[in-house]
Chain A
Amino acid sequence: MAVEHDPVEKLLLDLQERAKELNCLYRIEEVMNRPDATLDDVCEGIIAAIPPGWQYPDICEAKLTLYEKVYTSRDFHETQWVQNAEIRVQDKTVGMLSVYYTEEMPQADHGPFLKEETKLIRTIADRLGHFLMYRKVKGMFGEWRAAEEDLDGEGIKEWQVVLDLLHQTDRNLFLTVSLKMLNFLCWSGISEAEKLRRSSGADRKSDEDQIEKDSNRPQQVRKFTISNELSKKIFSLASEHLTDDEISSKIEHWIQEDKLNFLIQVVNRNLSISEVADAIRRYHHIGDGVELHSPSRRGVLVSLIRRFLSVQLNYINIAKNYLEITDFYDLLEHVIFSSESHGKLGGKAAGLTLASQIIRKSPEHADLLGDIKIPRTWYITSDMILHFMHYNNFAEVVEQKYKDINQIRFEYPHIVQTFKNSHFPPEMVAGLSVALDDFEERPLIVRSSSLLEDGVGMAFSGKYKSLFLANQGTKQQRLEALMDAIAEVYASVFSPDPIEYRTHNGLIDFDEEMAIMIQEVVGNRVGDYFLPTFAGVGFSRNEFRWSPRIKRENGLLRLVPGLGTRAVDRLSDDYPILIAPGQPDLRANTSIDEQLRYSPRQIDVINLKENSFYTMGINDLLKEAGSQIPGITKILSVHKDDQIKKPIAFNIDYENDDLIVTFDGLVSDGKFIPQVRTLMKLLEKELDRPVDIEFAHDGKNFYLLQCRPQSYVEQDTGDKIPREIEPDDVIFSAHKYISNGKVPEITHIVYVDPGGYADINELNELLAVGRVVNKLNKLLPEHGFILMGPGRWGSRGDIKLGVNVTYSDINNTAMLIEIARQKGNYVPDLSFGTHFFQDLVESNIRYLPLYPDDPGIKFNEDFLLNSPNLLPELLPDYAHLSECVHVIDVPAVTGGKVLRVYLNADQREGVGVLEDPR
């Protein structure tokens, strides 16, 4: 069709073609996914689906030859305009798919065919190959099960099963093993074996004779075959002379030998993932018995770890002790990649894989950790994002990161839309389709697994998207939704926040290849919703301690009912339950009022009916379907008669009781706390660094969803404490109860002088100090000031010992400091912010207690008391409180410096220093 098209029309035509191709794939998927479909149905389905997918449907015909059976379009006749694709199952060609045009058509990429059509026919052929393989393995599994049952009844021997399996899966190896058995029998001096060998033509004796006779002449090459029949004879002979155990062990040994060879070959060459995957698959299928010779095994293993999981030496060093070569089989069975892919699986995948193996291989903790599960997960390799972008011609988007940040911000919404409106390469579509078959209709989460997250010690806070999918509807709808989500996660690589972070940390030139994890959502169907009973995040080091009795190593859990999103994110209007697993009985909220105020009120679920992620009131869900949520009684308490009590089983009235999420039952009864505590301790010990985990619980089982070093979260890394500071520049220092955390540059200090406050003897004046703080909170730059004051901020008891404020009076401060001055022979207890502790946590306001009278502590009272006081100027009505409340404009009084607070919990040091702004 040599018609000239204008560019727009050309684009439209192209798009139409892509849509046709996708439809064709969908139709084929539909047929393959019908549970009752026979092989004939599938083949006929493919024949029917092909013509509409090609450029000229009216004159397009298809032919499929499979295991000597032929399927064709109606009135089929062969022509010269054809393209073919072999159908392969385990490297063996089992058939051929051909597409014909019945008339001559204009020249395109490959004859009259488009290059996309060449890819499409290849994809269809591959998909059919997978389908056949799947059916075969399924059938084999059935046979094997039957054989296994026979075994109990003294029927088929174990080695016979292995041999059968080998015969069906790896004919070459089967022959090798048969021959080796024959040789072994000969060497063992069994005369019948000699006879067999001669009859087969494998007569070593004559070879040996020849070698002796004529050592300089090349040996004659002889064709040597072992038929199935011969093999049968060999093993029947073997069973006469050897015990079953001997035969089994021999077979295993020879299989192992064979494995080693091809694996070493594969990993030492830079082959594509599909080749490596094939080799590992082979290694796996042969069985997992005798260990490979250790140095080779290590070599192969380390190569595999480096290849797929991480290049970090720290990681490899630990991983090689826990991972086995066969673990990669399970992993690669769930990886989506293109034929040329060389990508990796990213940091999240690496963390989760290693953690799961550490758990599995720590038998000493089996009683607690033995039943921890990992949800079903599929991965898309990191280079597929490039493949995807290349396929859609998005080259210019790669340069996005070098643009001005404002422009990036401006353009980002367009990029998201562009990505969401693009097409996926057929290989990816096929891979995702297989993954969806595996997941069935269970809800999914699509998570990024960035290579940057792999950098040890690198605090990568640039957050990429994670998206939940209900995964409901027809296969086509589910596939579309999944691709849409992946496109959106891909687009998030170009979102302004991570780019800004990467620029700031010198990571911008690093090619961000982002792998994807598609994970089954843990949980149960409850009415129209799908949710885990509870979920949360855990930190092996606690950086938010609400009591001086809680130590850093007691850890911290943030627990929520339903999906864990509300535990991961800091929410200003709702609260997770905080528990220190090392001190589970010391709860952040103790009084009834605190427990009510700081209990979660909302819950994130997947709404299966609306096919969406959904946030709802916990009470609404409980009223609607509370009794259906497995294990919910462990996390609920009943508020009645001014008491909050764990319910007695079956005694909850979901309709009428005032139910509060407390997690009390979980803390006091079950094994959850020891389990999660042991888990974090084990992971911290084995990974040799503090860890941060995500988990979910479906009421029966604990699922680990993620595991990474805690240092990945920038907030949780300790500051480097500057050593060379002018003594005059230190405003305060601290050596007790330090938590890691970042405090922004401070321009204003509000200092409520403990002495001045103690001197006030009018209740009204004491209350006025609280009002001053409230007004300053609104006047001073948000998160640019700190509050320092005596004793207990927000105390509800004796006002004399702490400024009377509520959270709203202080919510713009960057840091809250409580000063404990010695009084006679005792130092008063500080509050540790308990009056609004969770509000501080959720809004990331840091808390620091100061003990100025402790030995070795610096406290620059002179600066705080004698710097010019802004209070009379800012709040003339309260000028009379200037003796007590000091407001210091730091840059104004220090010639442009700011206050910087460095905190390092590991070194137990905190210091506030005057520094030049950055």
Chain B
Amino acid sequence: MPAFNPFQMARSQFERVAHQLELEDSVRELLSTALREYRFALPVRMDDGSLRVFRGFRVHHNDALGPCKGGLRFHPEVSIDTARAQAMWMTWKCAVAEIPLGGANGGVICDPHNLSMPEQEQICRKWIRQIARDIGPMRDVISPDIMVSPQHMIWMMDEYETIQGERSAGITAGKPVRLAGSMGKEESTGYGLVYALREVLYDMGLSPAETTASVQGFGNVARHAIKLYHEIGGTTTCVSCWDQEDQTSYAYRKESGIDLNELSRVTDRFGGINKEKARDLGYEVLAGESWIEQDVEILIPAALENQITEENVDKISKKVKIIAEGADGPTTPAADKVIEERGIFVLPDLLANAGGAICSYFEQIQGNINYFWPQDEVLGKLDVKMTAAFIKVSELAQKSKLYMRDAAYIIAVGRVAQACRDRGWV
């Protein structure tokens, strides 16, 4: 029996879209494999004087639309197949947001829990040395992923610049603002989601002020989404979050609408709301799952993957018109079918949470031109990008009577395929 394989999953998803797009075999073959794969050894002198050899790799899935960009993971379980799947997914994500970048991914097989900071620094620098000639601010931009921090990004940038003999901050993303990072990173995903949501409401002929929303999660993405949604006139009646002390989640409801500032003041840094204090503020404390049952127009799952499932999809109120996916993969395929049948409008994750990727792209641009924009400018440009991206997907969905999720993939794959053709690759 074949084992579960993330790359197989990404491929079969692509095949479905390729079939809808009626892509020819050569294009399918090109897009279902990575253009380039690098694997290399990283000998590292450990603190105790011993030498250990780590395995590192990088996958460039496709750079037809522009330089590659993608995450780097430090994890004992990373494999080339995980990287292939992630790189392909990144290609589509950049394409749907209409940013001129391709997808990449990479990693080092290691567990940072077993490594001191000096050892981790060695790994970062050795990794760059091995691949410096095949990456670059206009070739492949490295961004942080699992167990990779801004500090690692700075070490990598430093090593790359040392090798190149010049400053090239665009080589890595996710850096702190004080050292070639971009403003607006915190807000980007949550705001991006609401920029798109605003367009959905406009298309539906609804004023945000006539709508209410229920949000799963109260972390960075959720809070910024709520903030902007309230600014454009919306009302959030329910949020849910994890309660560390009780090891369960709760939903907090106020029919008249939650006050973001007031609730934020009783929230810890992990987005955990203090149950007692919230109750004192007049919030009803309900079971965590009840966020999904609320009589609202909009549901925003912005916490974890696999939250809307076969088991709870039927609890979604008849009033719900829109599901805006702030988290990655919050809806299981089985639940997705039910939602599609019920005609609820889905703002799919690929598009809805593209704000983060767009901001990361802005960071690369700013690094390349060595000029850093103020926050307003970053967020303004983000609005323009998100709105444009949404309109394209939504037009296609309407025109071709497609489910939004499919439309997003079709646009993404179509754009990449077109670029490959334009370049005469296929």
Q: B340 within 8 Å of A by Cβ?
A: no
Nearest CB in chain A to that of B81: its residue: A798
- B115 near A586 (CB under 8 angstroms)? yes
> Are B77's CB and A798's CB within 8 A?
yes
Give the nearest-CB partner of B332 in chain A: A764
What residues of chain B lie closer than 8 Å to A831, measured between beta carbons?
76, 111
Complex interface: chain B residues within 8 A of A801 (CB) = 77
Question: Helix, strand, loop or mixed for chain B's interface?
Answer: loop
> Using an 8 Å CB-CB cutoff, how does the interface string of B394-426 with A read, 1 for contact, 0 for none?
000000000000000000000000000000000
Residues of B within 8 A of A591 (CB): 112, 147, 149
Residues of chain A within 8 A of B82, CB atoms compared: 797-798
Cβ of A792 within 8 Å of any chain B Cβ, yes or no, is: yes
CB atoms of A643 and B147 under 8 A apart: no
Are B332 and A590 in contact, CB atoms less than 8 angstroms apart? no
Binds A, one of B61-69, B199-207, B243-251: B243-251
Closest to B116 in A: A585
Q: Write the chain A residue with the least CB distance to B47.
A: A585
| Alpha-carbon separation in the docked complex, A760 to B4 (Å) | 6
Min CB–CB distance A547 → chain B (angstroms): 4
Would you call B306 an interface residue if the criterion is a C-beta within 8 Å of the partner chain's C-beta atoms?
yes
Instruction: Give the chain B neighbours of A586 by CB distance below 8 A.
Output: 113-116
CA distance A758 to B118 in the complex (A): 36
CA distance A458 to B6 in the complex (A): 54
Name the CB-closest residue of B to A590. Answer: B112
Chain A residues whose C-beta falls within 8 Å of the C-beta of B118 in the assembled complex: 585
Interface: A549 (CB within 8 A)? yes
Flag whether B368 is at the interface (Cβ < 8 A).
no
| Distance A585 CA – B181 CA, assembled complex (angstroms) | 27
When C-beta atoms are compared, the residue in chain B nearest to A792 turns out to be B77
Q: Is the interface of A mostly helix, strand, loop or mixed?
A: loop
Give A783-840 interface residues, CB cut-off 8 Å to B. Answer: 791-792, 795-802, 807-808, 811, 828-829, 831-832, 834
Digitize B256-271: 1 where CB-to-A-CB distance is under 8 Å, 0 elsewhere: 0000000000001110
Most buried by A among B77, B146, B268: B77
Q: Are B116 and A762 in contact (CB under 8 A)?
A: no
A 580-616 to B, binary, CB cutoff 8 A, 1 in contact else 0: 0001011110111000110001000000000000000
In the complex, the answer to whether B3 meets A761 with C-beta atoms within 8 Å is yes
CB atoms of B176 and A641 under 8 A apart? yes
Q: Which residue of A lies closest to B4 (CB)?
A: A761
Which of B76, B147, B150, B334 is the one whose CB lies under 8 Å from A642? B150
Contact B113 A588 (CB under 8 A): yes
A759 x B78 contact (CB < 8 A)? no
Verify if B2 is at the interface (C-beta below 8 Å from A). Answer: yes
Question: B46's closest neighbor in chain A, by CB?
Answer: A549
Bound-state Cα–Cα, A490 to B332, Å: 61
A658 interface residue per 8 A CB criterion? yes
Chain A residue, CB-CB nearest to B310: A764
Contact A592 B149 (CB under 8 A): yes
B224 to chain A, nearest CB (A): 15
| A313 in contact (CB, < 8 A) | no
Q: Mark B73-92, 1 if CB is under 8 A from A, else 0.
A: 10111110010000000000
The proximity string for B residues 116-129 relative to A, scoring 1 for CB distances below 8 Å and 0 otherwise, is 11110000000000
User: Given that A592-B149, A641-B177, A763-B9 are contacting pairs, would A797 and B78 also be in contact in the complex, using a CB cutoff of 8 Å?
Assistant: yes
Does B146 contact A797, Cβ atoms closer than 8 Å? yes
Say how far B174's CB is from chain A's closest CB, in angstroms.
7
Task: Output the least CB separation between A600 and chain B (Å).
Answer: 13
Taking CB as reference atom, which chain B residue is nearest A837?
B113
Residues of B within 8 A of A641 (CB): 150, 175-178, 181
Question: Are B306 and A829 in contact (CB-based, < 8 A)?
Answer: no
Q: Are B75 and A797 in contact (CB under 8 A)?
A: yes
- Chain B residues positioned under 8 Å from A658 (CB to CB): 269
User: Which B100-149 residues have a C-beta within 8 angstroms of A?
Assistant: 111-119, 146-147, 149
* Residue B1 is within 8 A (CB to CB) of chain A in the complex: yes
| Chain B residues in 8 Å Cβ range of A548 | 114
- Shortest B52–chain A CB gap in Å is 10
Q: How many residues of B contact A (CB 8 A)?
A: 46
Residue of B nearest to A668 (CB): B117
Q: How far is the CA of A591 from the CA of B78 in the complex (A)?
A: 16
Given the known interface contacts A643-B176, A832-B113, the answer about A808 and B247 at a Cβ–Cβ threshold of 8 Å is yes
The answer to the question of B151 belonging to the interface, with a C-beta cut-off of 8 Å to chain A, is yes
A332 contacts the other chain (CB 8 A): no
The chain B residue sitting closest to A592, CB to CB, is B149
Asked if residues A797 and B177 are in contact (CB atoms below 8 Å), the reply is no
Q: Which B residues are CB-close (under 8 A) to A583?
A: 116
Expressed in whole angstroms, the Cα–Cα distance for A792 and B4 within the complex equals 16
> A623 to chain B: closest CB distance in Å?
14
Indicate if the CB atoms of B248 and A808 lie closer than 8 Å.
yes
Candidate in A547, A590, A592 with the most chain B CB atoms within 10 angstroms: A590
Chain A residues near B3: list those with CB within 8 A: 758-759, 761, 800
How far is A588 from B112 in the complex, measured between Cα atoms in Å?
Answer: 10
Please measure, in the bound complex, the distance between the C-alpha atom of A811 and the C-alpha atom of B244, giving whole angstroms: 12
Contact, CB under 8 Å: A642 / B149: yes
CA distance A798 to B73 in the complex (A): 12
Q: Which residues of A contact B185 (CB under 8 A)?
A: 642
Chain B residues closer than 8 Å to A766, beta-carbon distance? 4
CB distance from A156 to the nearest CB of B (A): 60
- B6 contacts which of A762, A764, A798 (Cβ < 8 Å)? A798
Cβ–Cβ < 8 Å partners of B175 in chain A? 641
Question: Does any Cβ of B come within 8 Å of A546's Cβ?
Answer: yes
- Chain A residue nearest to B220 (CB atoms) is A642
> Cβ of B4 and Cβ of A597 under 8 Å apart?
no
Q: Contacts A586-B116, A797-B73, A797-B146; is A640 near B176 (CB within 8 Å)?
A: yes
- What does the 1/0 interface line of B228-261 toward A look like (CB < 8 Å)? 0000000000000000110110000000000000
Q: Which residues of B contact A792 (CB under 8 A)?
A: 76-77
- Interface residues in B144-185 (C-beta closer than 8 Å to A): 146-147, 149-151, 174-178, 181, 185
Contact assessment for A761 and B115 in the assembled complex, using a CB-CB cutoff below 8 Å? no
Establish whether residues A585 and B117, one from each chain, have CB atoms under 8 Å apart when the complex forms: yes
- The answer to whether A573 touches B113 (Cβ under 8 A) is no
Cα distance A828–B185 in the bound complex, in angstroms: 36
Other-chain contact of A829, B111, B150, B176, B181 (Cβ < 8 Å): B111
Instruction: List residues 594-653 of chain A with CB under 8 A from any CB of chain B.
Output: 596-597, 601, 639-643
CB distance from B261 to the nearest CB of A (A): 16
Smallest distance from the beta carbon of B70 to chain A beta carbons, Å? 16
The CA of A583 and the CA of B114, in the complex, are separated in Å by 10
> In B330-367, which residues have CB < 8 Å from any A CB?
332, 334
Pair B269/A596 contact, Cβ less than 8 Å? yes
A573 touches B146 (CB 8 A): no
On whether A597 and B270 interact (CB within 8 A), knowing A586-B113, A764-B332, the answer reads: yes
Judge whether B4 and A643 touch: CB under 8 Å: no
When chains A and B are docked, how far (Å) is the Cα of A234 from the Cα of B111? Answer: 82
**Which of the residues B113, B150, B270 comes within 8 Å of A547, measured between beta carbons?**
B113
Residues of B within 8 A of A573 (CB): 244-245
Instruction: Decide yes or no whether A767 CB sits under 8 A from chain B.
Output: yes
**Alpha-carbon distance between A801 and B4 when the two chains are bound, in angstroms:** 10
Q: Which residues of A contact B269 (CB under 8 A)?
A: 596, 639, 658
> How distant is A584 from chain B, measured CB to nearest CB, in Å?
8
Residue of A nearest to B109 (CB): A829
How far does the Cβ of A529 sit from chain B's closest Cβ, in whole Å?
A: 22
Most A CB atoms within 10 A — which of B4, B47, B79, B117?
Answer: B4
Residue of B47, B244, B270 most packed against chain A (CB within 10 A): B244
Pairwise interchain contact B77-A795, C-beta atoms closer than 8 A: yes
The 10 A-B residue pairs with the shortest CB-CB distance, nearest first, are A585-B116, A641-B176, A808-B247, A829-B76, A547-B114, A797-B77, A798-B77, A590-B112, A761-B4, A834-B113
Additional 12 contacts, C-beta under 8 A, given A643-B149, A832-B113: A549-B114, A590-B113, A591-B149, A592-B149, A601-B268, A641-B176, A759-B3, A762-B4, A763-B4, A798-B77, A799-B4, A807-B247
Name 18 A/B residue pairs within 8 A (Cβ), A-sorted: A573-B245, A583-B116, A586-B114, A588-B113, A591-B147, A639-B269, A641-B175, A641-B176, A641-B177, A643-B151, A658-B269, A761-B5, A796-B146, A797-B73, A797-B75, A808-B248, A831-B111, A834-B113
